[in-house]
Structures are given as C-alpha cells and as structure tokens.
C-alpha cells in the first residue's frame, strides 16, 4: 500500500556511515544527496507520505530508488552515466 512503510531498508554499519558522510557533504551532486537522504529516511522507518513531504518527491521516485537500492545497494543510488 502506497503511503505505508513496507519492508524497511536495513543498512550495514559501513553503508550507513557512507550514506551519512555523503549526506553531510557539500561537494556532491544534489540529486545524489537527495537519494542518500531518501534511503536514510526509509531506513529510519519513515512512511512514504513523510518522505514525500520531507524531500518534495513523488511515489515514482520512492518506488524507483528503493527498488534500485534493494537490488544494487549503494552502487544503485548513483549515476550510471559519465558526468
């Protein structure tokens, strides 16, 4: 059901540390930082509705990036194209 938390993300300590470092960085890409904040919110138990409000995103964003993270972990969050 959209809007509810289902199958929360569980991070390893290394993943959490990396995501927290990236979230605090001012030198990274804004879209990467948004996806990092999203995963940290999802892991923190926030509902889709709360995440939509905090990140000003939609259900398609949440669905896409949660699936990619579950399938590819950290590598799935970042651009696959040359910068």
pLDDT digits (tens, 9 = 90+) for 42-80: 999 999 999 999 999 999 999 999 999 999 999 998 866
3 state DSSP class of 74: helix
CA–CA separation, 27 and 29 (whole Å): 7
The pTM score is 0.83
pLDDT at 1 over 70: no
φ/ψ of residue 8, rounded to 5:
-60, 150
Percent above pLDDT 90 for the chain: 73
């Amino acid at each position: 059901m959209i809007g509810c938390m289902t199958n929360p993300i569980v991070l390893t300590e290394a993943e959490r540390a990396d995501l927290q470092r990236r979230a605090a960085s001012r030198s990274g890409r804004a879209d990467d930082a948004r996806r990092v904040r999203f995963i940290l919110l999802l892991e923190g138990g926030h509902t889709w509705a709360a995440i939509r409000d905090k990140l000003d995103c939609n259900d398609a964003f949440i669905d896409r990036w949660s699936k990619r993270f579950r399938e590819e972990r950290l590598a799935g969050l970042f651009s696959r194209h040359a910068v």
